[in-house]
Structure 1
């Protein structure tokens, strides 16, 4: 008899369309903790930072589903008080993985800056920091509440530099999970339903600005994983290898 898959997801607005109808079956964790639990086999699949799929050859990536952007993402930002060229240090959210590495790649490769990175829990933003990287709903709230900071949107910065989309998160699963095919179908059905019911997802969210959420889903993030997104993933992976953040690559595997 098959058992229900153990599914982990991040608790952010941008993940809601991927778990539509599965909300009561999902364990919610922040990205770093979610990656740890998947690696420890406490979960069968998780919506993890894309770097986790690069690091673990025992994972397969669920095909055609991701959290991606092509241009401004709005929810992954570098907030800074002084011009970029004047920065010496950036405070990075400890819950981030992929976004922190994207920031380092952009700062050094695109802007020519070698900076010091301090990893902290940013449940409360540091008022004395000259620059801080924020992700998810916290980044959205900060973006909307602080017009006295300069904002670098990391999705836009990547797109301007590479002319490619950026994939932030994917469903990764253990390749030896016995019910893998059924799991892939379940996640694909949830994504299809979620994208068809964006207005319902917007209405369910408490507080905030429904018009903003509509723009966010319509203009900032999307949920496909096609050839262009896979090409962008491989480019990012190669850059991380050059940075010494990853070992030599293995072939990424996708489950349909």
Structure 2
């Protein structure tokens, strides 16, 4: 019997609307949160040390046989996402053969960039992994950088990088669909537990509360970041937290392009937990 639900919790600002009502107990729950970067949470889930966790879309698509998706909760965009950016010292179309520095923190965004720069803007650059913030602080200026999360929000107006490709907006322009960067999953071996099903319903309630109180979430985010309130409002307007028909279709199309570009071996079925 499951008494305490172990939940993986990434620390990015964009998931505050999902977790705030749960962490502050505005919505009662029996969650124990484990905080860490996506790679660490993925490892804890794979080892059976968590019941539920957010995970990158590509991690789910690579290991779908181990998990069930939680319905109607995700993190994505339908237009400019602002926090997943390719910034460049020259026009994107002129990066053919150039090296792009990619943050080690991202797998889904790196995979999306490879798809976009192979299928949508076919310039076939080279990629290398590194820490953009450290390099820039040291005085180095890589030709182009894929930057994500809070780092992207801080670097998007950098004077040495006047050219930008917002990956969420590029995907929408190309496919007409939302892009789902992250999903929430349950381990298959606990998916039939009544306690876990109840926890999933509670998690969805948290998301719904956050969406209904997005103004308050914007104020809290502005307090915790370098962004002013109008910038935070703009940021949240571009995000989606649902996993309904259009978002699910976007996830499926992403999986198809991952296979086409050799980044996964097969397109998995999307299996949802029944609640």
Distance 1:247 1:63, change over 3 A: same
Instruction: Give the conservation status (yes or no) of the 8 Å contact 1:33–1:95.
Output: no
Q: Say whether residues 1:99 and 2:109 are aligned partners.
A: yes
Q: 1:70 aligns with which of 78, 88, 91?
A: 78
Instruction: Give the conservation status (yes or no) of the 8 Å contact 1:32–1:97.
Output: no
Name the structure 2 match of 1:118. 128
Q: Say whether residues 1:238 and 2:259 are aligned partners.
A: no
Instruction: Give the conservation status (yes or no) of the 8 Å contact 1:20–1:193.
Output: no
Q: CA deviation at 1:45?
A: 1.5
Determine which structure has more spread, i.e. the larger CA radius of gyration. 2
Q: Distance in 2 between matches of 1:202 and 1:100?
A: 27
Name the structure 1 match of 2:29. none
Q: Structure 2: which 5+ residue stretches go unaligned? A: 25-31
Name the structure 2 match of 1:48. 55
Q: CA deviation at 1:26?
A: 2.4
Instruction: Give the conservation status (yes or no) of the 8 Å contact 1:92–1:117.
Output: yes
Q: CA deviation at 1:245?
A: 1.1
CA deviation string 1:131-169 (max 9, x = no partner):
000111111111145474211100011111111111111
Q: Distance in 2 between matches of 1:80 and 1:176?
A: 45
Q: Distance in 1 between matches of 2:161 and 2:107?
A: 27
Q: CA deviation at 1:8?
A: 1.2
Distance 1:38 1:123, change over 3 A: farther
Name the structure 1 match of 2:28. none
Distance 1:72 1:231, change over 3 A: same
Structure 2 length as normaliser, TM-score?
0.87
Distance 1:125 1:214, change over 3 A: farther
Name the structure 2 match of 1:22. 22
Q: CA deviation at 1:104?
A: 0.3
Q: Distance in 1 between matches of 2:87 and 2:101?
A: 10
CA deviation string 1:186-214 (max 9, x = no partner):
21111011112222222223253011111
Q: Which of 59-68 and 123-132 deviates more?
A: 123-132
Instruction: Give the conservation status (yes or no) of the 8 Å contact 2:92–2:164.
Output: no
After the TM superposition, which parts of structure 1 deviate over 6 Å for at least 4 consecutive aligned residues? Answer: none
Q: Distance in 1 between matches of 2:10 and 2:131?
A: 16
Name the structure 2 match of 1:138. 151
Instruction: Give the conservation status (yes or no) of the 8 Å contact 2:74–2:183.
Output: yes
Q: Distance in 2 between matches of 1:46 and 1:139?
A: 24
Q: Say whether residues 1:159 and 2:172 are aligned partners.
A: yes
Instruction: Give the conservation status (yes or no) of the 8 Å contact 1:11–1:29.
Output: yes
Q: Structure 1: which 5+ residue stretches go unaligned? A: none
2:40 aligned counterpart, secondary structure:
helix
1:254 aligned counterpart, secondary structure:
coil
CA deviation string 1:82-138 (max 9, x = no partner):
122332110101010110000000001111121211012344254320000011111
Q: 1:182 aligns with which of 178, 183, 198?
A: 198
Instruction: Give the conservation status (yes or no) of the 8 Å contact 2:88–2:162.
Output: yes
Q: 2:185 aligns with which of 156, 162, 172?
A: 172
2:182 aligned counterpart, secondary structure:
strand
Q: CA RMSD for the aligned pairs?
A: 1.8
Name the structure 1 match of 2:231. 212
